[in-house]
């Protein structure tokens, strides 16, 4: 029996709260930023806000000002709502910058490192697990997340086909909570960091496991460009849910199914560094947004 890939219908993705944001397109037409409400009804925000060139990125750049207006529109039954059905769901935002947090899911890192141990590693599985766990606990105590830079060009729509490059020998999925920033954040303390978050979405962070590590230069370690940044390696969305609709970004369930089989089912509770610590950490070096 042949495996028939199961693709979820765009309309099947539900979300918390009164509305979400996306980017949609009708066949052969330019994409538009969309307000999405439960029941699969959508509003073209270019038309509704009378800004013919508006993008979702610009909405997040003006988040504090636009949020009350989005609430009004979501509650307005007389607005020009149309069905989501028949529209193509694009990546919900084209960010200028992408930051990726590495080695941040405690259990996942332990599993990966044990599985990818060198064949001549003298440690037992238990010894290896205990050592890796100790390293992670020390990192958490020292408040030192590890963050690397991604390419916006790796982002693609959540239902788009991904063409794997011929050199990708061990392509692997990995769901990640994606955080969308709504105010320029530079050197913000942990306590205030969540005030800079406009919303959340989900990313499939594809990785070619065969090319993560540079075996030829051990000191350099990882090669993120090669293993994570081919075009299409970051399917994003479908929806960005406003931060105010999420009670706790540190308590979200993340589930990935492959042809109906559950391959990943975990909680953001397992994150070593939560969203606030990551946003604060990155903002010590770069300006977010």
Closest to a second copy by CB, 7 or 215: 215
DSSP 208: E
Closest to a second copy by CB, 107 or 186: 186
Burial of 68 per CB tally in 10 Å (0-12, 13-18, 19+): exposed
Query: Cβ distance 222 to 238 under 8 Å?
Result: no
120 binds a second copy (CB under 8 A): no
Supply the minimum distance, in Å, between the C-beta of residue 219 and a second copy. Answer: 6
53 binds a second copy (CB under 8 A): no
What Å distances lie between residue 242 and 180, 199, 237, CA to CA? 9, 4, 13
3-state secondary structure at position 144: coil
Radius of gyration, CA atoms only, the chain:
20
Count of CA atoms in the C-beta half-sphere (13 A) of 154: 23
Return d(Cα 120, Cα 190) in angstroms, integer. Answer: 42
- Scanning 44-52, 122-130, 151-159, 242-250 for contacts with a second copy by CB under 8 A, the matching segment is 151-159
Supply the minimum distance, in Å, between the C-beta of residue 139 and a second copy. Answer: 5
Find, among 68, 66, 10, 62, the residue nearest to 36 by Cα.
10
Return d(Cα 125, Cα 252) in angstroms, integer. Answer: 30
284 binds a second copy (CB under 8 A): yes
- Scanning 50-58, 122-130, 216-224, 249-257 for contacts with a second copy by CB under 8 A, the matching segment is 216-224
171 binds a second copy (CB under 8 A): no
Return d(Cα 152, Cα 229) in angstroms, integer. Answer: 9
220 binds a second copy (CB under 8 A): yes
163 binds a second copy (CB under 8 A): no
- List the one residue from 3, 28, 142, 261 that touches a second copy (CB under 8 A): 142
226 binds a second copy (CB under 8 A): yes
70 binds a second copy (CB under 8 A): no
- Rule CB under 8 A: which of 84-113 touch a second copy? 96-97, 99, 102-103, 113
Return d(Cα 206, Cα 172) in angstroms, integer. Answer: 6
Supply the minimum distance, in Å, between the C-beta of residue 134 and a second copy. Answer: 11
229 binds a second copy (CB under 8 A): yes
- List the one residue from 76, 107, 167, 258 that touches a second copy (CB under 8 A): 167
Supply the minimum distance, in Å, between the C-beta of residue 141 and a second copy. Answer: 10
Supply the minimum distance, in Å, between the C-beta of residue 239 and a second copy. Answer: 25
8 binds a second copy (CB under 8 A): no
Task: Provide DSSP, 252-279.
Answer: -EEEEEETTEEEEEEEGGGBSS-HHHHH
Find, among 88, 108, 84, the residue nearest to 205 by Cα.
108
- List the one residue from 47, 130, 144, 164 that touches a second copy (CB under 8 A): 144
Q: Under the rule (CB under 8 A), what is the footprint of a second copy?
A: 96-97, 99, 102-103, 113, 135, 138-139, 142, 144, 146-154, 165, 167, 186, 213-214, 216-226, 229-231, 282, 284-287
């Amino acid at each position: 029996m042949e495996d028939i890939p199961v693709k979820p219908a765009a309309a099947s993705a539900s979300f918390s709260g009164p509305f979400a944001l996306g980017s949609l397109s009708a066949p052969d037409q330019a994409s538009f930023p969309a307000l999405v409400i439960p029941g699969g009804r959508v509003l073209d925000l270019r038309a509704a806000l009378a800004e013919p060139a508006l993008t979702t990125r610009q909405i997040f750049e003006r988040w504090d000002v636009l949020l009350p207006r989005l609430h009004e529109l979501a509650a307005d039954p007389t607005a020009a709502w149309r069905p989501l059905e028949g529209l193509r769901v694009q990546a919900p935002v084209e960010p200028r910058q992408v930051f990726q947090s590495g080695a941040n899911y405690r259990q996942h890192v332990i599993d990966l490192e044990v599985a990818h141990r060198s064949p001549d590693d003298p440690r037992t599985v238990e010894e290896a697990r205990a050592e890796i766990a100790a390293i992670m606990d020390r990192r958490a105590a020292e408040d030192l997340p590890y963050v690397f830079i991604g390419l916006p060009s790796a982002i693609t729509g959540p239902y788009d086909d991904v063409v794997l490059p011929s050199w990708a020998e061990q392509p692997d999925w990995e769901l990640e909570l994606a955080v969308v920033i709504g105010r320029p954040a530079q050197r913000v303390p942990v306590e205030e960091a969540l005030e800079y978050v406009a919303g959340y979405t989900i990313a499939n962070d594809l990785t070619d496991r065969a090319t993560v590590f540079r075996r030829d230069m051990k000191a350099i370690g990882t090669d993120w460009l090669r293993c994570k940044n081919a075009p299409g390696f970051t399917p994003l969305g479908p929806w960005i849910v406003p931060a105010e609709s999420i009670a706790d970004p540190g308590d979200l369930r993340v589930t990935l199914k492959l042809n109906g089989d559950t391959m990943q089912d975990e909680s953001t509770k397992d994150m070593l560094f939560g969203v606030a610590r990551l946003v604060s950490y990155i903002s010590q070096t770069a300006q977010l947004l």
